[in-house]
Amino acid sequence: MEEKEKPAGILKRFSAKYGYLFIILVFAISIGLLYWLSRYNYLLFHSLAEIYSIVIAFAIFAIAWNARRFMDNNYLLFIGIAFLFIGILDTLHTLSYKGMGVFPGYDSNLPTQFWISGRYLQAFSFLAALLFIRRRVLATPVFLIFTLVLGLILTLIFYWKVFPVCYIEGIGLTPFKKISEYIISLMLLTSTGLLIYRKREFGGNVVKLLAAAMLSAVASEMVFTLYTDVYGITNVIGHLLKILSFYLIYKAFIVTGLTQPYNLLFHNLKKSESSLARQAEELRQVNDKLRQEIVERKKTERELEQRTVDLEAINRELEAFSYSVSHDLRAPLRSLDGFSQAILEDYADKLDETGRDYLKRIQNASQSMSRLIDELLKLSRVTRQEMHVEEVNLSEIVRHIAAELTASQPQRQAEFIIAQEILVKGDGQLLQILLRKLLENAWKFTGKNPSTRIEFGCRVYNEEKVYYITDNGVGFDMKYAFRLFQPFQRLHRESDFPGTGIGLATAQRIVHRHGGRIWAEAEVGKGATFYFTIDNW
């Protein structure tokens, strides 16, 4: 008798078969909504479409620039630097668009000049980047060259005013603009062909995504050769194709670059994975031999000291890298938040409730991503920071945090039961973070109860002290308990209980650094209890 297939297996096969169809359907619906928005308020549609591509361009630059010391494929570094200046030109295009009123005295020719400059720069960058697949890119000189190119474009447009005319009011596109679109398309097609030819230099679906992005850009350029009105239907279609192109670039550079870094930034390292595994095995054998041979102790100690120094240097560099990435990622987020607020303030009377709601959602999303970056940095610091062992009064820490939680929502009926004088040896700062994460978790999931009851105490199981925090909240299904301490995993809907999904992962890392373990027991609707142990050094 054949065994029934488990629901998880069925879901996995369904996702593999129809996952891309679902993504395509969602994207098609999104495009439809944007098209509807363009018919309702074209200026708002244009601003949102361009802001999307600008944020993606700045994010690509931030990732590439801060990963330049570790990036093995210089093609990506060159493209990443170029996208900063492409984003700047797109920003100027957005601000100078007809109806924005940022550049008084200029007509629709100005944004068209910025547009064609940005597309020339994009096409040139994809073509020139192919020269650096196996050659080293000197990031600073390349950055300076792009800066000079941007300065030259602005000088030609604003100071010398000799940049070719691209659009004439009442007539439409000039021959220069149309011919330029064909030249740009030819450059992008050439880049696509050469990229596919060199596909072995890249990992995963990166080549497919980049090729699709460039082909979408070509389609966009072809559409933009047809329009005669900056608010016309062909202009709408062109921008929708540009959104598709930048979405594919986002998938290739950001999503693939963050979730599959070894496939993109460190692809060549994967080629030596088996060799590294063998070297690791040999290293373990050498370490075993060194532990057995007392006569070589001094030599071993010197090697260990050197490794410690190297690891400390790497940790410092990683910390600087994390800070720089977070800072540069916040910059486009602040721009997105600021531009949305500016539109809300300056154009509130021109927007209906739906338009204002869309802008508020953009603000909320950018602020949520900023909070997520902060939580990721905190999680990283917990793993790297040096520990200072001392005697810590856990009961006193819990009382302090409980007072803060109660003061934050004085209308709630809350009871905290705290065992007295529970002392341990450990890092006081990390243990305070641990207790705060667990207590805030209990406070959050008891928020919908008429009265809150949270208890902190200590029990002894098999001669081992086990500390616990129990609550009378919503609880959870124990069959999903394995997901509790995994980053970004949630057992409840964010609309019901908001959060980043990183708090319990941080708590687990702190417990592990203290040589302990952490687990939870719960029942749906009857609360939860989190247990943890600490190795008292």
What's the average model confidence in pLDDT over 394-423? 88
| Phi (first) and psi of residue 3, to 5 degrees | -75, 135
* 186-221 confidence digits (pLDDT tens): 999 999 999 888 888 776 578 888 899 999 999 988
418: Cβ contacts below 8 Å, ≥ 6 apart: 395, 398, 399, 402, 455, 456, 457
- Please check the confidence at residue 265 and state whether its pLDDT lies above 50: no
Query: For residue 450, what pLDDT band results from cuts at 50, 70 and 90?
Result: confident
Residue with the larger pLDDT of the pair 43 and 324: 43
Radius of gyration (C-alpha) of the chain in whole angstroms:
28
Q: Distance between CA 461 and CA 124 in Å, rounded?
A: 68
Q: State the average pLDDT for the chain.
A: 78
The winner for highest mean pLDDT among 37-51, 210-224, 278-292, 312-326 is 210-224
CA 39 to chain centre: 32
% residues pLDDT > 70 (the chain): 72
169 — phi, psi (to 5°)?
-55, 130
Nearest to 334 by CA among 301, 373, 307, 295: 373
Residue 62 has pLDDT above 80, yes or no: yes
Q: Dihedral (C-alpha) 139, 120, 100, 167: value to the nearest 10 degrees?
A: 160
pLDDT value at 264 more than 50 = no
Question: Whole-angstrom Cα distance, residue 519 to residue 531?
Answer: 5
User: Are 224 and 181 spatial neighbours (Cβ–Cβ below 8 Å)?
Assistant: yes
Class level of CATH domain 388-532? alpha beta
Would you say residue 136 has pLDDT above 60? yes
Confidence at residue 127, expressed as pLDDT on a 0 to 100 scale: 94
Mean pLDDT of 313-341: 63
- Of 305 and 511, the structure prediction assigns the larger pLDDT to 511
**Count of Cβ atoms closer than 10 Å to residue 124 Cβ:** 15
Highest mean pLDDT out of 16-25, 107-116, 278-287: 107-116
Q: Average pLDDT for residues 43-72, to the nearest whole number? A: 82
What are the residues facing 455 on neighbouring strands?
417, 470
Around Cβ 2, how many Cβ atoms within 10 Å? 4
3-class secondary-structure state, position 495: coil
Name the one residue in this structure whose structure tokens are 């949102």: 48
Task: Give me the sign of the Cα torsion angle 108, 113, 118, 120.
Answer: positive
Q: Which among 237, 226, 221 has a CA at the least distance from the CA of 184?
A: 221
Burial of 201 (0-12, 13-18, 19+ CB in 10 A): middle
Q: What does each C-alpha distance from 190 to 106, 124, 183, 537 come to in angstroms?
A: 35, 11, 11, 64
Q: What is the DSSP letter of 232?
A: S
Q: Taking residues 388-395, what's their average pLDDT?
A: 88
Length of the chain: 537
Name the class of domain 44-271. Answer: mainly alpha
Q: What is the model's pLDDT at position 189? A: 95
Q: Does residue 174 contact residue 166 with C-beta atoms inside 8 Å?
A: yes
pLDDT band at 326 (very low <50, low <70, confident <90, very high): low
Cβ neighbours, 10 Å, residue 304: 12
- Residue 154 amino acid letter: L
The stretch 160-185 carries a mean pLDDT of: 91
414 strand-pairing partners: 452
Least confident span in 27-31, 71-75, 264-268, 361-365:
264-268
How far apart, in Å, are the Cα atoms of 480 and each of 451, 490, 501? 26, 10, 14
- pLDDT higher than 80, residue 501: no
Identify the CA nearest to 352 among candidates 49, 40, 30, 99: 40
pLDDT at 525: 81
According to the model, what pLDDT value does residue 432 have?
Answer: 85
- Close Cβ partners of 400 (under 8 Å, ≥ 6 residues apart): none
Contacts of 440 (CB under 8 A, 6+ apart): 401, 405, 503
pLDDT, tens digit (0-9, with 9 covering 90-100), for 37-56:
777 787 888 888 888 889 88
**Domain assignments of the chain as residue spans, ordered by start:** 1-40, 44-271, 388-532
The band of 441, judged by pLDDT with boundaries at 50, 70 and 90, is: confident
